[in-house]
Amino acid sequence: MANSNNYNQLKTYHSEFSLKIKMIVRSIEEINFKKDQYIRLKNDYVNDIKKIKAIHLANEKIGLTQDIKCNCPICDNIMTIENGEGGFIKSKPESLDEELLSLEKREKSISDLIINLTHEHRILLDDKIQLEADLNKVSGMIDTESKQFVTPFLTQRDSLLKEITSVSKKRETLVSSLKVRNRQEELLTKQKRLADNIETLIEKLNDLRVNAPSIDGILSSLGDDLMTFLTGVKIKNRTGISISKKHFSPIVRDRDYFNITSGGLRTIISIGYMSSILKSSIDSDINHPRFLMLDTIGKYLGKNLKPKYASETNVKDDIDEGISDPEKYENIYNALIEITNYAQKKRSPCQIIVVDNDVPDKLSDRLKAITVAHYSASKENGLPVGLIDDVIYKH
């Protein structure tokens, strides 16, 4: 507190001395201005005095003119040249003397003023020098006082900076350690999760080893589901239905799938086979996404077989199988819907997507509730074209 009071007092003296010096400098400037004016005025008086004295000197040297008598250069008579009034002297000496006396008094008065101003100027200069010395002394004392006053704070600041640096380094070390610790905990968490997953997989593997069904049992179950599907669709002569143990393809009427000539029947069997696998995934935990997507299931079904598909089927066999029966088309959809209802009862995720371009009008009305999107290649009734526009290639 004492140091602070001394510093404030010295700052007050410093401001006071600076203000006084400014005032003295201003006064000196004013005196110099006045002195210059008086000097110029004195010089004018001195010049005027010199002029009047010169007039007196001229009067004394030239004097008064006299009348002159001489012979005329023409007639040789005597001529008298008069001096006129006043001769060469036009002014009265008395008035010049009065003016000279007045100018000399003024010159002396101005000289006294100049002397006084010079004396005052010298005094102000001395005061200014003294104040500047005092100001320098006070400035030195302020510097000393500031150093003494600020030094403890600077020392404290340096100490705090060192402490901040030390704390920052400790923080960096702690942050690095924390990152390593977090990474370690993350790795430990992953390790535990992996260990739990491995343990779960081992348990499932042991259960599979103990409870895994035989291939014959699985194929028999798939054959039964395929039989159920074909019965629901109402195909003819539902005999000899199973799954091949050699290449795991469907067998109908004791004929391998690849040997069936009716394209429509092959389509129905394919849908039934994939549906049977989907139903098996609902009942058992197998490697299956429980997702089935069917595209253009009416390719070989219906009364109007497209020419581009005719070469891939035996039309006579299709007729014998009654593939064009609309009821079969409807029964396929019923069987697929039945599987999704079964999955819902079992609370198992399941999804079947059917893309069909030739759904009969009767069936289309029934399927409106579960129709997700409806497209038209010809934009019929303002419907969108679809995800893929028809492309016409020009050859």
Domains delineated in the chain:
5-61+92-167 (1.10.287), 215-382 (3.40.50)
**How far is residue 138's CA from residue 13's CA, in Å, rounded to a whole number?**
7
User: Which pLDDT does position 63 carry in this prediction?
Assistant: 55
Beta strands in the chain (DSSP E): 68-71, 78-81, 242-243, 250-252, 255-256, 291-295, 351-355
Bridge partners of 294, per DSSP, are 354
Q: What is the pLDDT of residue 304?
A: 57
Whether the CB-CB separation of 297 and 354 falls below 8 Å is answered with yes
Measured distance CA(36)–CA(183) in Å, rounded: 90
Q: Give the span between the Cα atoms of 135 and 18, in whole angstroms.
A: 7
Query: From residue 185, how far is each of 172, 179, 192, 193, 296 by CA, in Å?
Result: 19, 10, 10, 12, 53
List the structure tokens of 75: 């007639």
Two tokens at 310? 């005719």
pLDDT at 376: 74
Take residue 153 and report the two structure tokens written for it: 């704070």
Tell me the CB-side half-sphere exposure of residue 128, using CA atoms within 13 A.
Answer: 15
pLDDT tens, per residue, the chain with 395 residues: 446 677 778 788 788 888 888 998 998 899 899 889 988 888 888 888 888 888 877 777 665 555 566 777 777 677 766 655 545 555 567 777 788 888 888 888 888 888 988 888 898 888 888 888 888 888 888 777 777 666 777 788 888 898 899 999 999 999 998 889 888 888 999 999 999 999 999 988 888 788 777 888 889 999 999 999 999 999 888 899 999 998 899 999 999 988 888 888 888 999 999 999 999 999 887 889 999 999 877 776 765 566 666 666 777 777 777 877 878 888 898 999 999 999 999 999 999 998 887 776 777 777 888 888 887 777 777 778 766 555 554 44
pLDDT the model gives residue 199: 92
Alpha carbon of residue 91 to chain centroid: 98
Task: State the Cα–Cα distance between residues 284 and 324, nearest whole angstrom.
Answer: 35
- Are the CB atoms for 69 and 80 separated by under 8 Å? yes
Q: How many CA atoms lie within 13 A of 228 on its CB side?
A: 16
DSSP 88: T
Q: Which amino acid is at 358?
A: D
If one counts every other C-beta atom within 10 angstroms of the C-beta of residue 191, the result is 10
Output the CA–CA distances (angstroms, integers) from residue 394 to 295, 309, 391, in the order listed. Answer: 26, 22, 10
CB 24 within 8 A of CB 131: yes
Longest dimension (CA), the chain: 195
Q: Quick one: how many helices (H) and strands (E) in the chain?
A: 8, 7
Kind plus residue range of the DSSP H or E element containing 110 = helix 93-211
Q: Report helix angle 263-283 to 326-345, nearest 10.
A: 10
What was the pLDDT predicted at 73? Answer: 73
Residues 387, 43: Cα–Cα separation, whole Å: 113
Q: In a 10 Å sphere around its CB, with 0-12 CB exposed, 13-18 middle and 19+ buried, how is residue 278 labelled?
A: buried
> What is the enclosing helix (H) or strand (E) of 395?
none
Question: For residue 56, what are its two tokens?
Answer: 């007196």
Residue written as token pair 């000289």: 111
Distance (Å, rounded) from C-alpha 277 to C-alpha 332? Answer: 16
How does DSSP classify residue 367?
A: G
pLDDT at 321: 78
Positive or negative CA dihedral for 82, 88, 93, 99?
A: positive
CA 377, CA 384: separation in Å to the nearest integer?
A: 8
What pLDDT, on a 0 to 100 scale, did the predictor assign at position 194?
Answer: 93
pLDDT of residue 204: 83
